[in-house]
Amino acid sequence: QQQVKQSPQSLIVQKGGISIINCAYENTAFDYFPWYQQFPGKGPALLIAIRPDVSEKKEGRFTISFNKSAKQFSLHIMDSQPGDSATYFCAARPTGFQKLVFGTGTRLLVSP
Amino acid sequence: DAGVTQSPTHLIKTRGQQVTLRCSPKSGHDTVSWYQQALGQGPQFIFQYYEEEERQRGNFPDRFSGHQYPNYSSELNVNALLLGDSALYLCASSKPGQGFHEQFFGPGTRLTVL
């Protein structure tokens, strides 16, 4: 079964701190790993994505770290701001498929 | 540049009814995917349309069907609605061509089945 496990379910971080969200996958070849941000009442918005031939990708305050051997990838949000408060989803594309498999989401709250 | 648009925003139906949801892809995109997002869960892939045909399908029953028009807009139809069909239905579009490309999501249609 194609599955991506995401943790933690919820996260509270102080303003200026680092938010870290983790995802892991098993038994499936995936070749594209995006992270999406979703605000209440809105659709998911693509934040940053990585392919498995790269171990790290940084865009502004957002960094993806990818560990191919451990089948794990994580999102780091540096200098977290109250405006970052949202639900974050990791996802992965199974090789050969035209779909994304999503994690269950992490609700992030950045306290002022 | 308009992003992905969906209509209606909200919809309330009763069990057994049928519903049609609509999606217009982002300008320049020709591929449309539909996802179902239950409350508190991640989106689940329903199917994808490309060149007016269903290209791939997730684990959803035949009650879920779709269509894509020559202008690339798409519809999701759900027949014989069940209470469990209550969810946010998301449309995602991606750019032309074979292979897999980044998917951009619309705001979704919130379907409530009573």
Q: What is the mean pLDDT of chain A?
A: 94
Confidence at residue A65, expressed as pLDDT on a 0 to 100 scale: 95
What is the distance between the alpha carbons of residues A74 and A89, in angstroms, rounded to a whole number?
11
Q: Which residues of B fall within a CB distance of 8 Å from A32?
A: 100
Is the pLDDT at B17 greater than 70? The verdict is: yes
At residue B85, what is the residue type?
Answer: D
Q: Which residues of A fall within a CB distance of 8 Å from B33?
A: 98-99
Contact A98 B104 (CB under 8 A): no
- What pLDDT digit, counting tens, does each position of B38-94 carry? 998 999 999 999 999 999 999 999 999 999 999 999 999 999 999 999 999 999 999
Q: Binning pLDDT at 50, 70 and 90, where does residue B1 land?
A: low
Confidence at residue A20, expressed as pLDDT on a 0 to 100 scale: 98
